[in-house]
Amino acid sequence: MSGAQEPARLLVYGTEVARYVLDPALDARHGPRPYLHPVRTLGGTVVTDALPADHVWHLGASLAVQDVNGTNLWGGRTYVRDVGYTWRDDRGAIVHTGWSERADEQVAHELEWRDRHGRVLLTERRRLAASALAPDVWRLDLDSALTAPPEEEVRLGSPATNGRPGGAGYGGFFWRAAADGGPEVFTADATGEEAVNGSAAPWLALTGTGPGGGAYTLVFAGLGPGDRWFVRTAMYPGVCVAFAFDRPAVVPAGATRHGSYRVWVVDGTVDRERAATLVAPTLGQPDGGVSGWAGRRSPGRP
């Protein structure tokens, strides 16, 4: 069992750019799990939202899936085929179980994805790192390795795979963005929620306005095989690397699902050309899983 844990901080140039909440004191209905909030640009603009009134279970930036072998690890109501959203006693928790590394620029730890009875559905190794790229840009790297029990495959589902129409294939690495001002979203060849939701573009950018009026841009990359972008801008600003957008994802018994997600956090609004330039050095690189984390350090000043 994990005890109360103080949040970890990720620093760039000695300044906190993200706070990582390990052990949130949340109602089980909100899907307790580690999450990043607040995340800030180098200029200080907050670019995440947590516990918003419209979806209280949206927790900054986090990994969460609504259907993990029938357990809701996303929070909120569960979508049931031919019934709709329903409050059920099916919510578990994602629990920090121990550190493997803790430094200013990166942290790594072990987690368990548990059902409501405390049974372990998946174990996880996770690494987060912050690196400075320019005076107005830093990058978050989040590497994850989810391992199924040796005796049981694990099915990852979403409201969409359970029958909800309208492209509601959320569940995976999800970022609830700051909500002030009207956000815009684009890829290299598409613009707007309708065009981008469900796509498999190599990168995706969201521009918005944080509390206090600061403009920001978030550029996301990291879709794995079968993943899709889940995007909302009209109802709320959110971007998700969706594991089960239109069909369930399965982690075979004893196997490991690797993910490597990158987010460029930029002061101001950028266009397609600059977004593509930021991402280009990383495209085509193997994700490398999470083996060999020891000794891997995020870059310092450019």
> Domain limits of the chain?
8-29+41-282
Per-residue pLDDT 10s for the chain (302 aa) are: 445 788 999 999 999 999 999 999 899 999 999 999 999 999 999 999 999 999 999 999 999 999 999 999 999 999 999 999 999 999 999 999 999 999 999 999 999 999 999 999 999 999 999 999 999 999 999 999 999 999 999 999 999 999 999 999 999 999 999 987 789 999 999 999 999 999 999 999 999 999 989 999 999 999 999 999 999 999 999 999 999 999 999 999 999 999 999 999 999 999 999 999 999 999 876 543 333 333 333 333 23
Question: Residues 43, 63: contact at Cβ < 8 Å?
Answer: no
Distance CA 302, CA 296 (A): 17
Cα 209 → chain centroid: 20
Question: Residues 17, 130: contact at Cβ < 8 Å?
Answer: yes
Integer angstrom CA distances of residue 267 from 11, 209, 263 = 16, 10, 13
The residues that bridge with 114 in the sheet, in sequence order, are: 93, 120
Distance CA 15, CA 35 (A): 19
Cα 182 → chain centroid: 21
Extract the tokens encoding 69. 């072998």
